[in-house]
Amino acid sequence: MPARPCLDCGTLTREGSRCPTHQAQRNRIRNRHESPERKEKKAKLYNTAYQKHARAIRAGALLCHLCGGGARAGDPWEADHVEAGNINSPLLPAHRSCNQRRGNKPLNR
The Cα–Cα gap between 22 and 9 comes to 8
pLDDT recorded at residue 109? 62
The DSSP letter of residue 88 is T
Express each pLDDT in 45-95 by its tens digit. Answer: 788 988 999 999 999 999 999 999 999 999 999 999 999 878 788 999 999
Provide mean pLDDT across the span 18-43.
82
Residue 93's DSSP bridge partners are 79
